[in-house]
Structures are given as C-alpha cells and as structure tokens.
Chains A and B, each alone.
Chain A
C-alpha cells in the first residue's frame, strides 16, 4: 500500500527560527494536505495543495506540492511558542473521497525558550 515518509521525526528549535519539514511517497498523489495536531485534539487543516508545483502560503506557513507528485514540504517562518505540536502530511490519490487520506507519522515540533 501507499506509505508516506515524513521527516524529521522531531525538531528542537529556538523561538524565532525557521522550520522545514517534508514528506515523500512511493506513490503519486493528486492532493497533498498539511495538518497540525495538539495533544488530545483532532488534526487542524493548515494548507491544501491540489496541483503539482503549487506553492501556497498561510500566514507564516508555506507549503509546496512537488513536481513529481511524490513529495511535499512545509516551512514555518519565525516560529512562536504556539507552533508547538505534531505536524502531519497527508496525501490523497483521487478527488472522489473513497481513497481516503494516507498520513505520515508526523513531525514533533518542540520550541525551546
């Protein structure tokens, strides 16, 4: 089945630093999504990408859909304490919904004061 490799597994950074994480797949996806999850809560959608090469920003967050359709990255600029959490990438093969989302294992972001 499809698998997403998300890296790094965890990041320890200082407040104000920029963050970069990425996701690679052995299969092609037609949609890439990035979510943030806080402990005990559901994932919150950050950015959705629908087209190969697409670069999309949401405030301090920027994500890109790789040209090969097999990868995506998420950048966070000037990190702040509320950025702490687990970031998940997710890919969807089709637009019909029946494929579901395939998730990576997450990147734990920890910000040291």
Chain B
C-alpha cells in the first residue's frame, strides 16, 4: 500500500476565496472519509463515501463545504467563501469494507489550511 495521499499539504488563502483539497485513498479501499482537526483537538468527522456514493454528509460544517468522489477513487473537498474559522488541518482517511476490517481506518498526512 502506498498510503492515503493528500494534496496540497499546505494552503494559505485569503478570506472569501475557494479552496479545494484532493485525496487519493489506499488502492482497493472503497470507503473514504474526510475529517477536520483544529489545534488541541482530535479529528472531527465530516463526511463519508462508499465507492462513489456519499452516504453521510450531515456533519459537514456548513453549506460552504462540499465533497465529491465521482469515480469512486480519489475525492475532493471544497470550501467556498473561506472564513478565518476554517483554518484547520483537513484529513482524509480510507478503509476497506469487510467484516473485521470495517474499523481499520487509515489517515493521510493532512492538508493544512490557513485563511488570512
């Protein structure tokens, strides 16, 4: 496995701009997750895909946040009209559906967002 890959690793943007993060999951992992982590806190679940279907999105922080996984492989997380409070690390994770492996969730290295 090459691991979960995220890019860019760091993004500085001006308030009001849109940003997009990309995630390439571990190959053959059909489940993909996005989390957000702020300083001093554990990651916070945002959304979940099984293959190309987004099965959970109620935890996205606002309607400015959206995610896609069009072909069931890589995923993108977009934040529109960024605000300073969006500054955080955005983590992608993936797992393989299975009886015992349902909980073995592997994270990428994260994408740091700083909104100035």
Tell which of B61-69, B70-78, B102-110 binds the partner: B102-110
Q: A41-B109, A42-B108, A97-B33 are known contacts. Are A103 and B44 too (CB-CB below 8 A)?
A: yes
0/1 per residue, A86-112, Cβ < 8 Å to B?
001010100111111111111000000
**Chain B CB within 8 A of A44 CB:** yes
Q: Across the interface, do A100 and B103 meet the contact criterion of CB distance under 8 Å?
A: no
Given contacts A98-B56, A105-B40, A105-B41, contact A45 B48 (CB under 8 A): no
How many positions in chain A have a CB within 8 Å of any CB in the partner chain? Answer: 28
Kindly list chain B residues whose C-beta atoms are within 8 Å of the C-beta of A41. 109-110
Tally the A-B contacts, defined by beta carbons under 8 Å.
77
> B103 contacts A95, CB within 8 Å?
yes
**What is the CA–CA distance of A88 and B42 in the complex, to the nearest angstrom?**
7
Query: Chain B interface residue count: which class?
Result: 20 to 34
Q: Is A31 an interface residue (CB 8 A)?
A: yes
Of A4, A30, A43, A103, chain B has the most CB atoms within 10 Å of the CB of A43
CB pair A101–B109 under 8 Å, yes or no, is: no
Could you say which residues of chain B place their CB within 8 Å of the CB of A35?
107
Decide yes or no whether B91 CB sits under 8 A from chain A. Answer: yes
Cα of A92 to Cα of B56 in the assembled complex, Å:
14
| A21 interface contact, C-beta 8 A | no
Given that A98-B55, A100-B48 are known contacts, is A33 also in contact with B109, CB under 8 Å in the complex? no
Besides A30-B103, A42-B6, A48-B103, 15 more A-B contacts (Cβ < 8 Å) are A4-B42, A42-B4, A42-B109, A45-B105, A50-B100, A90-B43, A97-B31, A97-B50, A97-B102, A98-B48, A99-B56, A101-B45, A102-B45, A103-B41, A106-B42
